[in-house]
Amino acid sequence: MTHSDLSSAPASSPESRSAVTTLVENLLAGNRRALARVITLIENDRAETHDVLAALYRSTGRAHIIGITGSPGAGKSTLVNALAKAYRQRGYTVGIIAVDPTSPFTGGALLGDRVRMRDLSGDPGVFIRSMATRGSLGGLAQATADAILALDAAGFQRVLVETVGVGQAEVDIASTAHSTVVVEAPGMGDEVQAIKAGILEIADILAVNKADRDGANRTVTALHMVLGSGGPSMRQVLHHGQLLDAGLPAPAVDAGWTPPIIKTIALRDQGIDELLEAIEQHRSHLQASGELQRREEDRARTALIRILQAAVLQRLQAAMPAWQLRQLVADVAGRELDPYSAADRLLPAVLSAQ
Ligand SMILES: Nc1nc2c(ncn2[C@@H]2O[C@H](COP(=O)(O)OP(=O)(O)O)[C@@H](O)[C@H]2O)c(=O)[nH]1
Ligand SMILES: [Mg+2]
């Protein structure tokens, strides 16, 4: 499989279909180049992506997906590196995806991450990839979710996804991950700030990294207080916020799990076994309580809505000249038309577009 096999043929041609089949077969057989190629297709939002994912989908659903999020500099990359090594020592294969919405680079990790992940490279049981935005319709969240599917299909048992906690990104990852680890570090500013930003709402596990530094215990105490007052209803807030679909029952609250707070020194591999244990305990809890199934349904719903939104916009853009859309927007902005009526005018175009 070479790059030109897939780029030369039109998306639905027989040549392209057989190239897709070969690519998928190679990925499922554990070929790393095929996996890398598939993730590149996903990143570039190529037309073949849908065929590839459709062919892979039945082979997914086995990996445990772990989101690692928190402020820049909290030590997420270092922690991911240490966690991956610990998982490897226990015989698990590990996929790592570093998501950086601000990075202009794709396909290669940031220099610091490259240095840190050096001790993992060359290990066939580890696959590392970083992803950045390409401004595709589906966006970074969709590309990340699809890349996770590819790693899952390729047989990686644990998939670690590092995201910078800067708002919507971590909420998106939380809806993609089975277990979300929020990384805090002492002296990184007001803990209340993190709570305000909503980052704790998505935590299944809290890691207070840089526990070698002053103030780690203060951070732990502050987090205990917030969790004590907020309790398990935190998750409910998130899920209700994401219920874009009317008529579906609100998901049950995961009342049986209190996020543990674990001190780590990622630089020295301290607290990593405890963190790994907490993740595995959370996985067992998800399975035993039925929460795993519920989160899978959440994931499926989120994915479906995201894909539908992108498809509707794509069809709209295909069916209507850009100037016409701009005029409609101008009319709404100028109060000549309300947005509901504008949408009503656009919908027939969406439905008739091929
Ligand atoms: N003192 C101390 N420094 C750490 C620890 N873990 C990471 N660091 C350092 O913190 C900085 C940021 O780490 P990095 O993993 O890149 O953070 P990220 O931005 O959250 O991914 C780096 O200089 C790390 O070496 C730790 O446990 N203790
Ligand atoms: Mg990082």
Higher pLDDT, 235 or 200: 200
Which ligand sits closest to the CA of 115?
1
Domains of the chain by residue range: 1-58, 60-291, 307-352
112 alpha carbon, closest ligand: 1
Nearest-CA residue for atom 25 of ligand 1: 267
- Collect all residues with Cβ–Cβ distance below 8 Å to 261 and sequence separation of at least 6: 206, 207, 208, 220, 223, 224, 227
Strand order of the β-sheet with 94-99 is 126-131, 94-99, 158-164, 64-70, 179-184, 205-208, 261-263
Lowest mean pLDDT among 27-41, 61-75, 197-211, 333-347: 197-211
Q: Which stretch, 8-12, 213-217, 285-289, 320-324, has highest mean pLDDT?
A: 285-289
Distance from C-alpha of 329 to C-alpha of 133, rounded to nearest angstrom: 26
Q: Is the CB of 144 under 6 A from ligand 1?
A: no
pLDDT at 113: 60
Residue 136 has pLDDT above 60, yes or no: no
What residues sit around ligand 2, an ion, with C-beta below 5 angstroms?
76-77
* Percent of the chain clearing pLDDT 70 (strictly above): 74
Considering only the C-alpha atoms of the chain, give the largest distance between any 2 of them, rounded to a whole number of Å: 65
Dist. CA 166 → ligand 1 center (Å) = 18
**C-alpha of residue 78 to centroid of ligand 2, in Å:** 7
Ligand nearest to the CA of 187: 1
Per-residue model confidence (pLDDT) at position 298: 81
> Token pair 């610091």 is at which residue?
112
**Is any ligand 1 atom within 6 A of the Cβ of residue 187?**
no
Q: Is 241 in the pocket of ligand 1 (CB under 6 A)?
A: no
Cα 77 to ligand 2 centroid, rounded to whole Å: 4
| pLDDT the model gives residue 241 | 38
Q: Which residue owns the Cα nearest ligand 1 atom 9?
A: 75
Tens-place pLDDT, residues 229-277: 554 444 443 443 343 333 344 444 466 899 999 999 999 999 999 999 9
State pTM to two decimals: 0.83
Q: How confident is the model at residue 67 (pLDDT cuts 50, 70, 90)?
A: very high
CB of residue 213 inside a 6 A radius of ligand 1 = yes
Q: Ligand 1 pocket: which of 116, 208, 267 to mutate (most atoms <8 Å of CB)?
A: 267
Q: What's the whole-number average pLDDT of the chain?
A: 81
For residue 122, give both structure tokens: 């060359």
User: Residue 188 — very low, low, confident or very high, per pLDDT cuts 50/70/90?
Assistant: low
Take atom 26 of ligand 1 and give the residue whose Cα is closest. 210
Return the CATH architecture of domain 60-291: 3-Layer(aba) Sandwich (3.40)
Q: What is the pLDDT of residue 249?
A: 40
pLDDT in tens, 70-116: 888 889 999 999 999 999 999 999 999 988 655 544 344 455 565 55
Q: How far is the CA of 293 from the centre of ligand 1 (A)?
A: 35
Q: What is the structure's pLDDT at 229?
A: 59
d(CA 224, CA 71): 19
What is the number of the ligand closest to the CA of 270? Answer: 1
Alpha carbon of 79 to ligand 1 centroid (Å):
8
User: Which residue's alpha carbon is at the smallest distance from atom 10 of ligand 1?
Assistant: 75
Protein residue whose Cα sits closest to atom 12 of ligand 1: 73
Residue 12's CB is within 10 A of a number of other CB atoms, namely: 10
Contacts of 142 (CB under 8 A, 6+ apart): 136, 303, 306, 307, 310
- Looking at 168-177, 304-313, 338-347, which range is the least confident one? 168-177
Cα(124)–Cα(141) distance, integer angstroms: 27
Q: From ligand 2's centre to the CA of 153, what distance in Å?
A: 25
Q: How far is the CA of 209 from the centre of ligand 2 (A)?
A: 13
